[in-house]
Amino acid sequence: DTEVTQTPKHLVMGMTNKKSLKCEQHMGHRAMYWYKQKAKKPPELMFVYSYEKLSINESVPSRFSPECPNSSLLNLHLHALQPEDSALYLCASSPEGPGPRGTEAFFGQGTRLTVV
């Protein structure tokens, strides 16, 4: 099973709303990622969790707040977003084991976020 599940698939939110994106994997992977992807661009790394601890924050604005409640779950809390934050948000996980295959990332289908 190489499945990463993201919910919701689509989300429309106002600039004053608070919402959360959810991601779940049951592959025993120890690294989990959030990426943002704008149209016709490659995914851009936002956050990395390693063994449930935040290891990388790519200078993401504080209106995005990640959370890793346990090794299978990853959330992205959204508050006071701007229209330019509209994008496809992708979650991924990788084994983080020894050797190069530890970085093979498996992606969810993404959440299409529209901020109005």
Residues in the site for other proteins, rule: CB under 8 A?
2, 4, 6, 31, 33, 40-45, 48, 50, 55-56, 88, 90, 92, 94, 96, 100-101, 103-110, 112
Q: How far is the CB of 76 from other proteins (least distance, A)?
A: 15
Q: How far is the CB of 56 from other proteins (least distance, A)?
A: 6
Q: Closest CB to other proteins among 15 and 104?
A: 104
Residue 20: CB atoms within 10 Å: 14
Q: Closest CB to other proteins among 31 and 76?
A: 31
Q: Closest CB to other proteins among 8 and 18?
A: 8
Q: Closest CB to other proteins among 15 and 54?
A: 54
End-to-end CA distance of the chain: 36
| Exposure string over 69-78, b if 16+ CB within 10 A, otherwise e | eebbebbbeb
What is the Cα–Cα distance from 74 to 76, expressed in whole angstroms? 7
Q: How far is the CB of 16 from other proteins (least distance, A)?
A: 27
What is the Cα–Cα distance from 94 to 101, expressed in whole angstroms? 9
Which of helix, strand or coil describes residue 83?
A: helix
